Amino acid sequence: MEDKTPSKNVLTGGILVVLAMVIFGSYGLLVRFINADAILLVWSLQIVGVICFLVYLLKNRALLNLHKMFLRILLMTVFIVIADLSYFMALRTTTVSTAVFVKFLMPVIVIALTFRKSGISFKKLLFMVTLGIAGLLFILWPQGIPFSANMGILWSLITAFTLGSYLILFKKISATVPVTTILFYRYAIASVIVLPFILFIGNVFDQIGAFWPWLIGFGLLYAVIGTLIHMQGLKMTKVQYTAILGYVEPFAATVMSIVFLGETLTPFLIAGGILILSASTLSLKD
């Protein structure tokens, strides 16, 4: 069926998706700049997110009882908390470009986990996985294959697996539950899950006192502003366009890491990144 979305809306939606990807691509800058514990950064996302989305839902009288979906939302939330924490750890233990490139193995992992429903042939899946592994090996090669010498890459791999699992569950839940409602419960449950770990940080109150404006800004930028811009862009843009525009994130992250953090791209990293992004791109095609 032909898409009837007005071209002006498609253009506006595309711009919004690109803007959201640039915002998400800046994660590395703020994670490096805000010298707070990674788990505290994760908690700031949840607590700011739950407050803002609660206000929105109460204003629109859209708060729902999701007892039938609770276990799925709980599992989804556990996955995204692990994904956020592991990604922040990756950004602090390897280069931003490396962390982002390895994270983009996620589409390949999603296809592998949902292979029977994906409609992709086994031959194509095998080719995608081979490209992804080859890209990972290129990135690992300069420091040696063992992950003990590449903890940042290991953290990024954990991010890819847990983020992929989160997205699979999110898609199933969003078929019957509004996205804003899902996000509220995700942030609410995550705030409770992360809080006990916050209390184990030795100087947690000192860190909150020193960085509270940055923590609030961090939560607003990524949990609220970036998320809402992305959601609005998705509503206005064709699916195939939003998937392609998602690749603005690794480009933006790489450029910002070079310009603001002084990072460099090695031939192995470039080759590995191209292979991984090529494998991920194959998941967009029929």
pLDDT tens for 15-48 read: 999 999 999 999 999 999 999 999 999 999 999 9
> What's the confidence (pLDDT) of residue 180?
87
> What's the confidence (pLDDT) of residue 277?
93
- Average pLDDT, integer, range 219-240: 86
The answer, yes or no, to whether residue 1 has pLDDT greater than 50, is no
Position 133 in a domain = no
Position 103 in a domain = yes
> Which residues, 6 or more positions from 106, have their beta carbon under 8 angstroms from its beta carbon?
159, 160, 161, 163, 164, 167, 280
The pTM score is: 0.89
The answer, yes or no, to whether residue 191 has pLDDT greater than 50, is yes
The crossing angle, in degrees rounded to 10, of helices 96-103 and 122-140 is 160
Position 176 in a domain = yes
d(CA 199, CA 211): 16
The answer, yes or no, to whether residue 213 has pLDDT greater than 90, is yes
Position 147 in a domain = no
Position 126 in a domain = no
Position 40 in a domain = yes
pLDDT tens for 114-123 read: 887 777 888 9
Range of the domain at 47: 10-110+154-262
pLDDT tens for 43-68 read: 999 999 999 999 988 887 766 777 67
Q: What total number of domains does the chain contain?
A: 1
Report whether 75 contacts 189 (CB < 8 A): no
Position 268 in a domain = no
- Report the mean per-residue pLDDT for the chain: 88
> What's the confidence (pLDDT) of residue 2?
45
> What's the confidence (pLDDT) of residue 150?
80
Q: Report residue 6's pLDDT band, with 50, 70 and 90 as the boundaries.
A: low
Tokens of 14: 């595309």
> Which residues, 6 or more positions from 124, have their beta carbon under 8 angstroms from its beta carbon?
282
For tokens 């898609």, the residue is 171
Which one has a higher pLDDT value, 109 or 284? Answer: 109
Position 244 in a domain = yes
